[in-house]
Amino acid sequence: MDRYSNLGFYNLVKVTCAFSVGVALVLNSFTSLRGDGGGPFEVLLLSFLIILGFFKVIERYKFNFIPLIAIIYLLVIMAPITFLNLYFDQMGSSTRTLFALCFGAFVGFIIANTNLVEQKYIAQGGASVLIVSFFLAIYLEIDFSNLQRLLFLSDNPNQIALYSLSMIFLISWSIENKILLAIFNFFALGYGFFALSDSFFFSIIIIICFVFFGLLIRGKAFSLLMIFWALLFVLIYVLIFPENEILENIIYFWQNADEGGGRLALALNGILAYLESPIFGHGAGAFSGVDIPMMRFEAHNTPIDFLTMGGIPLVIIVYAPFFLAAKELLLDSKYFILGILISLMFFSFFHFIGRHPIFWFVWGYSISIFMHYKNFNRRKLCAE
């Protein structure tokens, strides 16, 4: 770093770049502003990631090349299968999906090699967009009874929910200041609530359960007692007044989540499609169906969709970092962040989220978290 003539300017550019990565990341959720099929926000995100990677190259940063496994598998195994199936008119094969996965894997590689300082600025950049969009939503839809899932931002409410949950994870890991942490998470949570996604609400319940678990482990009996009595009163109210709206809303959310049995049919047909090519899958695309497999439908279940595309190796490559990070967070008693990560994994079982860059941000963060604890434990052993 001594060889740079203007170190202050250099660091300013690098910080601005990391902040801009976070801004571009959340802007990717605004699909109705970018047009169908992508647009400038993806180019913006890719540009800032390349610049961030360039900074690391000139600093002679020692890259962690483990995340390259995903890129190698996509290019060496999945890409040839995809092009071969396209040549033979395999229904459901898609180069667009292949490109999205390669883009995501590159994102994951760069993010897995960011440090805590860069991750902090990425979280701040993403949070700034969430705050602006939160107030924009209130300004444009002041009548909350007519607030229709932030359609001016995204045509898919579950996409908004995904970005909300993922940003809560990124923020909670990266931001140490408790006041900023509370403010950023408030707006990220509010952003997700606007989407009115059933999977989002179930994910929030999972996070709350992990928070309760943390309280229990730490022996905060008074807090647990208060929570117990609050839940007991809610249960009593539901039982005494069976016609109340709470019970009706629970039933409504359950029916919407299942979509008349459609999700189960898509999942089962996705598994059948996978079994037709159980080793390496069918390449990138959508191979489930409502009635039979291979009808160009996604299974709306990320593990199953990845099975159909890349087989068991792809699922292991994608989900192993989540479990490794979860193990480290559990050992370090980071129950809130652990709950968010588990809730995201739960969320992925109800939607295919592998095309979204933010999914690969969480993937990259998970690798970074695992390596952080691994290096920390190694330094601890050397000190002893």
Instruction: Provide DSSP, 241-307.
Output: -TTSHHHHHHHHHHHHHHTTTHHHHHHHHHHHHHHTSTTT-S-SB--B-SSSS-SSB--S-HHHHHH
Query: Is 139 among the domain residues?
Result: yes
Is 373:365 a contact under the CB 8 Å cutoff? Answer: no
pLDDT band at 226 (very low <50, low <70, confident <90, very high): low
165 and 227 share one domain: no
140 and 243 share one domain: no
183 and 127 share one domain: yes
**Structure confidence by residue, pLDDT tens digits, 101-130:** 999 999 999 999 999 999 999 999 999 999
248 and 285 share one domain: no
Taking the alpha carbons of 241, 242, 245, 250 in that order, is the dihedral positive or negative? Answer: positive
Q: Specify the pTM.
A: 0.86
164 and 238 share one domain: no
d(C-alpha 239, C-alpha 383), whole Å:
58
Q: What is the pLDDT of residue 144?
A: 46
242 and 351 share one domain: no
Residue at token pair 């059933």: 198
238 and 340 share one domain: no
Range(s) of the domain holding residue 36: 7-218+259-383
Is 121:130 a contact under the CB 8 Å cutoff? Answer: no
372 and 335 share one domain: yes
pLDDT band at 64 (very low <50, low <70, confident <90, very high): confident
94 and 214 share one domain: yes
**Structure confidence by residue, pLDDT tens digits, 138-149:** 776 544 444 444
Query: Is 2 among the domain residues?
Result: no
224 and 355 share one domain: no
pLDDT of 343 > 90? The answer is yes
238 and 174 share one domain: no
Select from 105, 104, 100, 103 the least CA-distant residue to 67.
105
Query: Is 1 among the domain residues?
Result: no
Is 341:168 a contact under the CB 8 Å cutoff? Answer: no
Among residues of the chain, what percentage have pLDDT more than 90?
47
281 and 227 share one domain: no
For residues 189-196, average pLDDT:
79
How many domains in the chain? 2
